[in-house]
Chain A
Amino acid sequence: MIYPLIIFISIAYSAWSFTHKPIDINILMPAPFADSTSTIVDQYNHENKGKVHINVTRGPLETEAVSDLAISSLLLGASPFDIILIDVTWLPKYAEAGWISSLDKYIDIEEWNSLISGAQDGNSYKGNIYRWPLVADMGLLYWRSDLMKEPPQTPNQLLEISRNLVQDNQVEYGYVWQGRQYEGLSCVFLEVLHAFGGEWLDDNNHVKLSSNESIEAAKWLRKLIKVGASPKAVTNFAETEALQVFESGQAAFMRNWPYAWSELQKDSSQVKGKVGLTLMVSEQGRPSASTLGSWGLSILQNSHNKKAAYQVIRYLTSQASQKKLFTDYGYTPTSEKLFDDVQLISKLSILPELKRALSVVQARPMTPLYAQISNVLQVELSSILTANKPAEDAMRLAKDKTKRIILSSGS
C-alpha cells in the first residue's frame, strides 16, 4: 500500500523538478571578462530565476592558457561548457574542427546589421556566422599629451620623437609595445606591415611576408630598439608589462587595446589626464591599420540548450550591457548606434576615436592554420629583434615556412 504512494510521490516530484529545474548554461571566459560581466550575469540570473541559470567559469588570465583549457576540454569530449568566449583568431580553427555551431538560424539579420562594420568582421567562416561579438577590439596608439602637442603620424616621426624624449631624459623609455614571442607580436607586426603598405597573405592566400614592404616593417621594429626609441626589455613585453610601464609614467607611447584607457584614468595611474589615443602611425599616403582583436561568444556543438544559450548571448551583448561594459571597464561597444550616443560621448570622449579606429581594422588571416603561421612569424620576428638575424633572411624563412604549412595542409 505504501509503495505505490512512494512511487507516485517520487514520480510527481521528479516531474515537478524536471519542469522547474532551471536550464544551466555554462560559459567559459578568461578571468578579466568573467569579472567584468559578473554583474550583468547576476542580473540575468535574477530576472530568469527558475528558468535559466548562467554559470560562468573563470578561465586563466593569459589568452593562450585559456585556449589550452578550451581545447583540452573539447578534445576530451563531453565538454562541460555551452558557450565559450573565443578570440577572433580561434574561430576558423574551432569551426573547422566542428566544435562550435553556426548561429545563422538564430540570427535576426537586422540585429546583425546594427553592429558597426568593424565588429561584424571576424565572426564568420566559410559564409556562416559562428560568433556574436561581446566587445570590439583593435590596436591603438596611446600618447602622452603632456610631452607633445600632436601625436606622430608616420613611423619615422614616432621613432624620432621617442628617441629625442629618451635622450632628453624626459622619459625612461620611448615607445613600448608587445615584443615577446607570442600572439601580441603578430598583432603589432600586422599594423606596422600595413603601415608600410605590405600584406601577410593576399586575397589568393599567397604569402607576402618577404616583400620589400614587409622587410622594411620588420627592420623598423628592430630599429626602434637599436636607436633606443624602445627599451630592449620590450622584447619580453606582453600587454600587461607595456601597460605597467606606461601607467607609471616611464614611457611616451604605448601600443595597446582599448581596455587600457580606463585603466590609465584610474587614480593610481601616474599619467591620468595626460594621455591621448589615436590610430597607429602609417607611411605618408597609406591608410593606418589597426589589428582586429575582439572576443565573442560561440555556442558549442554539443550543447543541449542551444536556443537558451543564444538568448543568453544576446542578453550579454545587448546595448544595455554594452553601455555598462563601456562605462565601467572601457570595453568598446559593438552597436553602431552607441558610437553616436551623445550621453556616452560626454562620459568618455574617446568614443569617436574608437569609431575611427574600427573603420580601419585589419583582420589577421582567417584560416584554421592561423596559430601555426602566426607562430612561425613570431619566432622569426623574435629572432630579428633579439638574435640580430638579418630581416631579409628571417622574413624569407617565415614566408617559406608559412607556404609549406599551407601546402602540407592541402588547402
Chain B
Amino acid sequence: MAPPANRRSGHSRRAQYSSFFGYLAGVLGALVGIVLLILSIRNPDLFSEPRAVASAAVEPAGVASSRTREAGRDVFSVVEGYVLAGIRYDKLSRELALTRAQLAETQAIKAENRRLKRLLGITETELKPIAVTRLIASTAASSRRFATVAVGRNQGIANGMPVRSQLGLVGRVLQAGPGNSRVLLITDTQSLVPVRRARDDVAAFAQGRGDGTLVVRLISLGINPLRKGDVFVTSGAGGLYRTGIPVAVVTSLTADGARARVLSDPAATDYVIVEPISARPAPESSAAPVPAPSPEAAAP
C-alpha cells in the first residue's frame, strides 16, 4: 500500500503544528490512562457505578445473546442426540437402574439425618434463593474472570452473595449495581473458596487459575490424601458460602493438593441462582474481598 500523501507536513507550519499536537494528545491520553489505572488499583469500587450503567445499556443485547446461546446449544444437542442416541440410551438405562438404588439409600440417609438433627435440637434453616437469573455477559477477552447477571440492588442483591447454578458454585457478587451485578467467578485468580472433600472432611482452599481450572490447596500438610475424581464441596468456613455446594472435581494431583475442574462451567450455564449470604460464623470476613486463608477459620 502506498503511503498516504497528506501525512507529510513539509514546510507548512500549520501542518507541523497539527502533527505535533497530535502526538502530544496521544501522549496525554497515555498519561490519563496511567492516572486512571492508579486510581482504579487504589480503589477498585471507584468505577463500579459507571460500569453498572454501561452494562445496563447493553443488557437487552446480553439477554438476547444469552437466549441465542441457549437455542444454539439446543440445536447442537439435538444433532448430537440423533448421532449418539443408541449408545446413550444403553448407558443411561444402566445408570438409571444404579441411581434408583442410590436414591432410595439417599432418602433413607436424609430421613435419618433429619431425625438426628431433631434429636440434637438443630433447627433447619432453609435458604431461599433471592433471584434466579441469567449470566448476560462475561469478560471473555480479559484474564480476569467476571460475569454480569441481570439482577441488582433493586432486586435485593447485595455484595458478597453466592451465585450458583444447578450443578454447583459459579461465583459471588462482587459489585451490585442498580439493575445488574458483577460476579467474581470462582475461576478468577482472586477467588478463594474454602472447600472440603465431599465424602470426608479433608479441608482445603480452592483458588482459581484464570483458565477454567482450580488449584486445591490442602490446609493440613502431610501425605496428600487426594485421589483423581474426588469431589469438593463448600465447607462453609468464613461464613460466605453455605455448606455443601458442589465446587470442583479433581483432575490431577500436585505436591500439596490437586488441580480440579469446575463442576459448574459458566459457559454451559443457562440460569444461575443468587443465594443470601450464609448467616453462619465470622461476619467480618464476608466483608473482605478474599477470606483470609487461616487454618483455624477453615477447620470444620
Do A and B originate from a single complex? no
Residues of A near any B CB (own CB < 8 A) = none
